[in-house]
Copies of this chain bind each other. A is one copy, B any other.
């Protein structure tokens, strides 16, 4: 049998071990698998000096491959590998409900200043890469495994545009080519001996060997202003005059309030607006249709296509902007929208004075699910539908999040989901849907889970939003992420409450009903600097780090950035999660079964205490999970468990404390005859009791 990509990588690294007598440091967190190469030196910083070739070779050889089953082809999805097919009654991809997700931007999560030059170099003193790569990510898998993570959720890994890039590296959300991987994620250690495709294949294979799934992030609604599709398909985009582009701005509709959803009832007023008319008038026919012969000539010219088009046609791709009316955000200069329909929105074309108006970006055209045209852009749809199958067949991924999927034409979304499940019936879909009220709709579309609003609710402990989130979750039609932060939001450890808040939410999230644990890379080491300040951030959040920190003011989504893996408390949350994951595994069926769940209520008025409970109907065992959302002070509280006792027919007065943030496990006797349990909870403490 031919070598798998992981085996090939192992061999390529092994052959070069003699080259590795270099000064290469990794954080000790990258060695949760206890690498003990003869060259290892432990530095006072908590870094290890290693031979990088041997180090990454060893994680494959010592940690990964021993778990590989013979005669198994790991390049398919885990469900395909394990021959798991959804039940007839079920939609595919329901495994995601049982999973623990780790969200990672590879270039950041596996970034390190390996030569300690106080600079994150693309090519360091030893010619090696310090931003992240697929290969380096392998060394983090043991840590993730320890934390109970079983799904790697990858922020975009496709090649993105570097034109007018934001920050030092540019945003991976400005896709230039869906079908090529971001070349920055290529590992120079393997040089020409492996392609970047093979390296990603090796990573997916490694995850599958560890029973971890891999989910990617796809962005079918926008594209970088500079992207590879323009050349052959200029008609898939919106164009304006280059000479007028400095005047391009989001039209403002007088008489409507700010940041309004683009509902049909506003459209007459929108089109009536002078500023909207000014805006629409800016749009132009695409260069190919304008002058096919000239376009052919331009294509043959040397230099940059967009520059050449601009010179020949005075045309430029129009930037995207928010689909909310009168949103205060400026245009998103680096991305643009796809033309989903070849005609104007059916519902609103009556408002257009000139029916020959070239395609234009407006709140309706870009909200194609609400305002479809009659003529779908079939070729484009075809392309978009094929993105996920490409990642399925080439790399064997297990699921995808669709960026702004709810703004796609309904039919297109359906095609995307169906096509992926044709390839792999157990393929999972995550909806970028923040509003729990839309869960039902997402479910109908075939999604398995929505992102939800945990990132916003969980940190707001004093307003009791965490209470509302936890107690309300079981009512939602789809599970949401039990998450305290995302790559777009402020960091939980950077908020008021700091590490206590981060520890409480991160551990509690592992045992909540109808909620799926979601850990944002860096969260496990109490990172305080957000990766992006897109959502729920203040302007101060960008400057969470000390001024002399290498990454002061930097955002991972745009800049070279490495997680602060040397943090003194770096192992703490991983250890907590390591403990709590075992409880989760034992109680997972109950956690997922709404009928096994009962909320825990407390006798104290307006208490910071939060509690959930589960009953195992077969054994009659009960699980109590309680948390103190006051992260500054301890509390005493009493939970009523009468209903739970009834449901379980369990009247035991002795339990076992399986987990407590600030205590070791012990027997638990604080049950009172009147059906209450007493808890003393430290600041932000979580306790788990089984009886």
Using a CB–CB cutoff of 8 Å, the interface residues on chain A facing chain B are 21-23, 41-44, 49, 115-119, 125-126, 548, 550
**Residues of chain B lying within 8 A (CB to CB) of residue A49:** 117-118
What's the nearest-Cβ distance from chain B to residue A91, in Å?
Answer: 51
Say which residue of B23, B41, B550 sits within 8 Å of A23 (CB atoms).
B23
A22 in contact with B117 given A44-B548, A548-B44 (CB within 8 Å)? no
Q: Give the residues in chain B near A23, CB-CB below 8 Å.
A: 23, 115-117, 125-126
Q: List 21 A-B contacts (CB under 8 A).
A: A21-B125, A22-B125, A23-B23, A23-B115, A23-B116, A23-B117, A23-B125, A23-B126, A41-B117, A41-B118, A41-B119, A42-B118, A43-B116, A43-B117, A43-B118, A44-B118, A44-B548, A44-B550, A49-B117, A49-B118, A116-B116
When C-beta atoms are compared, the residue in chain B nearest to A118 turns out to be B43
Interface centre among A42, A43, A548, A550 (most CB of B within 10 A): A43
Copies of this chain per assembly? 2
Who on chain B is nearest to A114 by CB? Answer: B23
Cα distance A22–B127 when bound, in Å? 10
Chain B nearest CB: distance from A643 CB in Å? 55
A50 to chain B, nearest CB (A): 11
**Cβ of A467 to closest chain B Cβ, rounded Å:** 42
Distance A134 CA – B118 CA, assembled complex (angstroms) = 29
Ranked 10 nearest A-B pairs via Cβ:
A23-B125, A43-B118, A23-B115, A23-B23, A41-B118, A49-B117, A22-B125, A41-B117, A116-B116, A41-B119
Given contacts A23-B116, A41-B119, list 9 more A-B pairs with CB under 8 A: A23-B117, A23-B125, A23-B126, A41-B117, A43-B116, A43-B117, A43-B118, A44-B548, A116-B116
Inter-chain contacts of A119 with B (CB < 8 A): 41
Least Cβ–Cβ distance between A624 and chain B, in angstroms? 42
Cα A119 to Cα B40 in complex, Å, equals 12
Interface centre among A41, A43, A49, A116 (most CB of B within 10 A): A116
List B contacts of A117 (CB < 8 A): 23, 41, 43, 49
Name the distance in Å between A256's Cβ and chain B's nearest Cβ: 51
Most chain-B Cβ atoms within 10 A of its Cβ — which of A22, A23, A126, A548?
A23
Tell me, rounded to whole Å, the shortest Cβ–Cβ distance linking A327 to chain B.
41
Chain B residues whose C-beta falls within 8 Å of the C-beta of A118 in the assembled complex:
41-44, 49
Q: How far is the CA of A117 from the CA of B45 in the complex (A)?
A: 11
A49 to B121, CA, bound (A): 14
CB proximity of A464 to chain B, nearest CB, Å: 41
Q: How many angstroms between the C-alpha atoms of A23 and B127 in the bound complex?
A: 11
The CA of A126 and the CA of B24, in the complex, are separated in Å by 12
CB closest chain-B residue, reference A22: B125
In the assembled complex, the Cα of A37 lies from the Cα of B272 at a distance in Å of 63
Bound Cα distance A274, B244 (Å):
112
- Chain B nearest Cβ from A442, distance in angstroms: 46
Residues of B near A548 (CB, < 8 A) are 44
A367 nearest CB across to chain B (Å)? 48
Q: Which residues of B contact A22 (CB under 8 A)?
A: 125
Who on chain B is nearest to A23 by CB? B125
Shortest CB distance A432–B (Å): 38
Chain B residues whose CB sits within 8 angstroms of the CB of A44 once the complex forms: 118, 548, 550
Expressed in whole angstroms, the Cα–Cα distance for A117 and B117 within the complex equals 13
Residues of B within 8 A of A125 (CB): 21-23
Give Cα A42 to B548, complex, Å.
11
Residues of B close to A115: CB separation below 8 A: 23
Among A21, A118, A119, A548, the most chain B Cβ lie within 10 Å of the Cβ of A118
Bound complex: CA of A42 vs CA of B119, how far in Å?
10
- How distant is the Cα of A118 from the Cα of B119 in the complex, in angstroms? 20
Q: Measured between alpha carbons, how far is A22 from B117 in the docked complex, in Å?
A: 10
Residue of B nearest to A25 (CB): B116
Contact partners of A43 in chain B: CB under 8 A = 116-118
Q: When chains A and B are docked, how far (Å) is the Cα of A133 from the Cα of B197?
A: 49
**A333 → chain B, closest Cβ, in Å?**
33
- Smallest beta-carbon distance A39→chain B, Å: 10
Q: Which residue of B lies closest to A49 (CB)?
A: B117
Separation of A125 and B25 alpha carbons in the complex (Å):
12
A638 → chain B closest CB, angstroms: 47
Cα A119 to Cα B42 with chains together (Å): 10
CA distance A43 to B21 in the complex (A): 23
A680 CB to nearest chain B CB (Å): 37
Residues of B within 8 A of A126 (CB): 23
Chain B residue with Cβ nearest A42: B118
Contacts of A41 in B (CB 8 A): 117-119
For residue A550, which residue of chain B has the nearest CB? Answer: B44
Please, which residues of chain B bring their CB within 8 A of the CB of A42? 118
Closest approach, in angstroms, between the C-beta of A660 and any C-beta of chain B?
31
A126 to B22, CA, bound (A): 8
Q: How far is the CB of A123 from chain B (nearest CB, A)?
A: 11
Q: Please measure, in the bound complex, the distance between the C-alpha atom of A125 and the C-alpha atom of B24, giving whole angstroms.
A: 10
A42 to B22, CA, bound (A): 21
- Measured CB to CB, the closest approach of chain B to A620, in angstroms, equals 52
A667 to B381 CA separation, bound complex (whole angstroms): 85
A39: nearest residue on chain B (CB-CB)? B117
A22 to B126, CA, bound (A): 8
Q: How far is the CB of A285 from chain B (nearest CB, A)?
A: 51
| Distance A49 CA – B22 CA, assembled complex (angstroms) | 16
A627 to chain B, nearest CB (A): 37
The complex places the Cα of A23 from the Cα of B21 at a distance, in Å, of 14
A54 to chain B, nearest CB (A): 15
Residue of B nearest to A125 (CB): B23
